[in-house]
Chains A and B, each alone.
Chain A
Amino acid sequence: MPVIRAADLVKTYGDFDAVAGIAFEVEPGESFGLLGPNGAGKSTTMRMIGGTLLRTAGVLEVLGLDPETHGPEVRASLGVVPQQDNLDEELRARDNLIVYGRYFGLPLSYLKPKADELLEFAQLTEKANAKVSALSGGMKRRLTIARGLVNEPRVLLLDEPTTGLDPQARHILWDRLFRLKEQGVTLVVTTHFMDEAEQLCDRLIVMDHGAIVAEGSPQDLIRRYSSREVVELRFGSDRNAAVAGELRALVDRSEVLPDRVLLYADDGEALLETINRRGLNPLTSLVRRSSLEDVFLRLTGRSLVD
């Protein structure tokens, strides 16, 4: 039985479709990603899964139950990390974890060691008795993530978990999440970071304007929607458009961005050689493997660089 099952899921605000009829399933132990530009409907979907936002239409089952009618029971097994931190500003860091655990009915004998363990997890042991307002943005984020683990959830909903984290903290978090996955925890992650999606997600959906535009594993999607390699060229902002026409003739697919031109090819080095032989002389050039970034650009026509 899937852990999450959505069919024809709709959320409307007035006459605006924030989520316009999506369907997906998440299997137990899977790490499932929601990708999409700002306003695509990712957070809306996450909140419907947690049952804190009512859907307008469609079917939604989480652990076999409807989160709308069985909210408390469903949420007992969920860990929720919202996009915006909502820590308890009137409590200290450690108390945030303990009190939050009490909301699940967990006993103090369990919560006290658990809080210390989670502070360690979030690398906040020194800040245990700090007020929330005295934590940095990234520390608050880490505390929010730690808090979402206090009830040892079977399903962890992470809405842009690493936003605001420094690279080291991000990598540590990925590692911890990977270990949770090994323990059988199902992860649902939204992100703007393509490397994160590639690292974390077994499977993902790409959303745009409330609809699903593609679904598959990261490798799948790259294979389906992009070439093996990409050549990135910079000619300076005024020349990019000028040379684009000539470049476009060389490849099946290209993207002209304000600061660079992307050319899609199976053999990037060969393509670059051709370009140099023609005397086009880019200021900089780079051959790299295709990534989800390129898939995203292809599917939504938008770059995802934050």
Chain B
Amino acid sequence: MSVDRTTGTAARVVAATGERLRRRPAWLAALYVGNARAVIGRGFRVIRNANWGIIATGFFEPVFYLLAMGVGMGGLVGVVPGPDGRPISYAMYLAPALLATSAMNGAIYDSVHNVFFKLRFGKLYEAMLATSLGPMDVALGEIFMALFRGFLYGIGFLGVLAGMGLVTSWWALAMLPVALLIALGFASLGMAVTSFMKGFQQLDLVPLALLPMFLFSATLYPITVYPGWIQAVIMALPLWHGVELMRQLSVGFFTPLTLVHIGYFVAMSAVGIVVVTLRLRALFLR
């Protein structure tokens, strides 16, 4: 191997990396090099070889709900008042909520289950952090991969809705970026929570927490049926904000609360990213 170690490509990249880092505040330079795309590239390379059947598990759950509840129950319920007060079919009421759930499921699957195994059994993050990647590059890259899965689920579900004639407005297109935002929120929070998990018992708690959140978050019927304090609890949880946001979007009707819903997910993502970054540092650079 004859390489010129002072002028070769590698030397140039290393020098450029150093220069870029020196322009940053020191605390940031130790956390972030701006190379999350390398982690994302790795994720896509793995997906490429992976079994797409496995990737799609979890996608079908909301689809089953849509068929069982939307079509089945919908026949009994008939029409319900929509977000703007005008009546809509029950299936139309249900669909945006299930879309939000779909984005959540995809993001959670990757950021909880997959990340758990990588943290506990693989040495992937250890290897990554022995390179010039910072913990925040790894955090952003891995969260992106989880978000990608959530987004895929969202697109898939929207396709199912369109196929069933439940997409009636151009606002449906705006549901995609919102699905992305919801997925980002859950991916960040999911990975943050997972980074504290020690064993399988804790992993098993995740579906136990998600199922009631799904059932109660105004997905199947409005939360006004509950007493005030239960409503308050539900409104503190993320899925309700996702469901409401999607539902407003489905008919193109917005209120000041719309911004609160968006803000909730932005904040959730930001907190998640920070926590994951610090946890990766605590676990692998200690």
Contact = CB atoms under 8 A, between A and B. Distances in A.
Interface of A: 50-54, 69-73, 75-77, 80, 82, 84, 86-92, 95, 99-100, 102-107, 110, 117, 121, 151-152, 154, 176, 179-180, 183-185
Nearest to B284: A52
The B interface is mostly helix, strand or loop, or mixed, namely helix
Interface string B34-63: 010011011001100100000000000000
Contacts of B232: none
A143 to B, nearest CB: 12
Contacts of A180: 1
24 contacts: A52-B126, A52-B285, A72-B21, A72-B29, A72-B30, A72-B133, A73-B22, A75-B130, A76-B131, A82-B130, A84-B123, A86-B127, A102-B41, A102-B42, A103-B38, A103-B39, A103-B132, A103-B133, A104-B14, A121-B1, A152-B5, A152-B11, A180-B1, A183-B5
A100 B41 CA distance: 11
Contact of B10 (A69, A87, A95, A151): A151
B9 A110 contact: yes
A73 B13 contact: no
B42 A105 contact: no
A185 B38 CA distance: 26
B134 A72 contact: yes
B10 A54 contact: no
Interface residues of B, number: 42
Contacts of B159: none
Contacts of B222: none
B127 A104 contact: no
B144 to A, nearest CB: 15
B50 to A, nearest CB: 8
Contacts of B130: 50, 52, 75, 80, 82, 86
Contacts of B2: 183
Chain A CB within 10 Å, residue with most, of B9, B30, B49, B127: B127
A297 B249 CA distance: 77
Contacts of A91: 42, 45-46, 49
Contacts of A152: 3, 5, 8, 10-11
Contact of A105 (B13, B26, B122): B13
B285 A183 contact: no
Given A99-B38, A151-B10, A152-B3, A51 B285 contact: yes
B135 to A, nearest CB: 9
Contact of A103 (B5, B26, B35, B285): B35
A102 B128 CA distance: 10
9 closest cross-chain pairs (CB), A and B: A86-B123, A152-B10, A76-B132, A103-B131, A102-B38, A110-B9, A86-B127, A80-B130, A72-B132
Chain B CB within 10 Å, residue with most, of A84, A87, A88, A103: A103
B18 interface: yes
A14 to B, nearest CB: 14
Contact of A95 (B45, B122, B124, B286): B45
A86 B124 CA distance: 7
A180 to B, nearest CB: 8
Contacts of B128: 103
A76 B11 CA distance: 9
A185 B1 CA distance: 13
B127 A100 contact: yes
A75 B45 contact: no
